[in-house]
Structure 1
């Protein structure tokens, strides 16, 4: 079984802290009354990864990946390739641009066009395809073109970097009872859960949240092994990879307490609710809030909850459409 240590997470955190591309994001505390919930019913705190420079948590992991990359990558002699529906691709493009490196992002056709344009704006090539073709294309670039693959979720250096977010949660809300984290491939929730549990906070529940349209980790738990799925169309495209990574699955089995699913309407309602209190959160980034507001998590009464809001990369046009469509319903 895959192992991870607190020492490695602490080392990754030092790498993250030294990076100019990553900030220590704030924790917005005691927001339950602003959300229209009764005072004392539940203590809700929001970890605002939406305020990262790249607009999402992804740079935490990517920074540690690059810090541990081969010299042939760092000196620019080998190009990099990855696959992403948006946020990892943006962080990848920004990081490579800052280091004057070259790379390619393989992007599913379901990702919004503006994500593609944003990545290309950093001088990084984008190739679009169906989600089932992503890994095949990545492997072709590695074998035929000699590129180095940076995995967007199933990579130990990446996961250790994400663990820095878990350590910050414990510093800001040391008595946390429950942490809700969106889950695509599973790298973020694996890193956060490992950091929290290995720090000795074993009584804190960490729950992964996936869209019903792309339940790869949920299905993996049922199967007892990493699952490959065919995601259905979802507004949370960033949470819809076609498979769960083996490393992520192993760590989730050890440290993640549960996986819950949310509907498209749950996600839209969460985005609208957060917008109503002044927070711009993309659909993928609002899945944790969706799970709480829709009652997908049991026994939250009187608990101290942290919800990780993971990304703010949504255009005004997209956000307006989401909110206006929800109002019509």
Structure 2
């Protein structure tokens, strides 16, 4: 068995907690080998498809899922093709190439890159979706199993939402561990808030474009399953500014010596202060989803 992901640390944040009040617990998915939580679900999907006979992996991604697929393919000895949109950072492109995957840049958005990747699927190929596949959710759910084994039962779980894959996986893990009454605070940046707009409309909607620097949250439409979960579980939607997300990344870098991208900073922006969505919560679990498509220099440039 090839272990593609690791069991990540769960730490109490002294900087983000309030002494005698709210404790903030960080599930450090930024510590995964490819740099984000994505390897849990992507890795599980790749292993499953390989066992079913796949001889090549195809993936469309804004960055982190493609990096995870490329990493999984290299570790498993399977060739990988990753299609990314033009908005994908040069750093993400470099990291995909470093894992020896074939990289194709196509289209102005994830939707266009995804359409090309799907059109390329041939017999023997497995298509690795970045967020909309039950195998992904099953893999991501393992992070909640790890938290549950420590005995911590939080009063709320805070996470960032892009296409909804992390949300679906976390909720799957919460329900199989009996956390059915623990609310989820789902955070997005303005301009990439397809989940918030879906909840407001009562159905999934497609954004005309992504107007946020948090390109990893740049799914113009969330997975249907992510919306369905909002009808079965308490999900509190929060939208923050790009500025707040970047500021949270900078604070996190100073306080925890870990670099994450603005897509992750969105969740940190809510968990790092007395946000109304967390009122009355004694223990808050934050999924530090990570992301490696932003550098320190890029964060500093955005912050200034």
TM-score of the pair, normalised by structure 1 = 0.84
Q: Does the residue aligned with 2:100 lie in a helix, a strand or coil?
A: coil
Aligned to 2:77: 100
In 2, the alpha carbon distance for the partners of 1:20 and 1:212 equals 36
Which among 271, 283, 300 is matched to residue 304 of structure 1?
283
Aligned to 1:7: none
Aligned to 1:25: 8
In 2, the alpha carbon distance for the partners of 1:105 and 1:279 equals 27
**Does the Cα contact within 8 Å between 1:208 and 1:256 map onto a contact in 2?**
no
Offset, 1:72: 6.3
In 2, the alpha carbon distance for the partners of 1:302 and 1:199 equals 19
In 1, the alpha carbon distance for the partners of 2:82 and 2:130 equals 10
CA pair 98-261 structure 1, distance change in 2 beyond 3 A? same
Q: Does 1:232 align with 2:215?
A: no
In 2, the alpha carbon distance for the partners of 1:146 and 1:136 equals 19
**Greater shift after overlay, 46-55 or 238-247?**
238-247
In 1, the alpha carbon distance for the partners of 2:129 and 2:22 equals 37
Q: Does the residue aligned with 2:231 lie in a helix, a strand or coil?
A: helix
CA pair 172-283 structure 1, distance change in 2 beyond 3 A? farther
What is the count of residue pairs matched by the alignment? 301
| CA displacement, residues 158-202 of structure 1 (integer Å, 9 cap, x when unaligned) | 101111011222223523101101111111111112211332222
Alignment of structure 1 residues 1-329 onto 2, 5 Å = 19-29=2-12, 31-32=13-14, 34-35=15-16, 38-69=18-49, 73-74=53-54, 76=55, 79-128=56-105, 129-131=107-109, 132-142=111-121, 147-172=125-150, 174-255=152-233, 257-277=235-255, 278-293=257-272, 296-314=275-293, 318-323=295-300, 325-326=302-303, 328=304
**Does the Cα contact within 8 Å between 2:181 and 2:234 map onto a contact in 1?**
no
Q: Does the residue aligned with 1:274 lie in a helix, a strand or coil?
A: helix
Offset, 1:254: 2.3
TM-score of the pair, normalised by structure 2 = 0.90
Q: Does the residue aligned with 1:161 lie in a helix, a strand or coil?
A: helix
**Does the Cα contact within 8 Å between 2:24 and 2:271 map onto a contact in 1?**
no
Q: Does the residue aligned with 1:320 lie in a helix, a strand or coil?
A: helix
Q: Does the residue aligned with 1:298 lie in a helix, a strand or coil?
A: helix
Poorly superposed stretches of 4+, deviation over 4 Å: 70-73, 294-297
In 1, the alpha carbon distance for the partners of 2:130 and 2:181 equals 29
CA pair 72-205 structure 1, distance change in 2 beyond 3 A? closer
Offset, 1:19: 4.3
Unaligned stretches of 5+ in structure 2?
none
In 1, the alpha carbon distance for the partners of 2:276 and 2:151 equals 20
Q: Does the residue aligned with 1:306 lie in a helix, a strand or coil?
A: strand
**Does the Cα contact within 8 Å between 1:62 and 1:158 map onto a contact in 2?**
yes
**Does the Cα contact within 8 Å between 2:137 and 2:172 map onto a contact in 1?**
no
RMSD of Structure 2 on Structure 1 (CA) = 2.3
**Does the Cα contact within 8 Å between 2:46 and 2:57 map onto a contact in 1?**
no
Q: Does the residue aligned with 2:49 lie in a helix, a strand or coil?
A: coil
Q: Does the residue aligned with 2:253 lie in a helix, a strand or coil?
A: helix
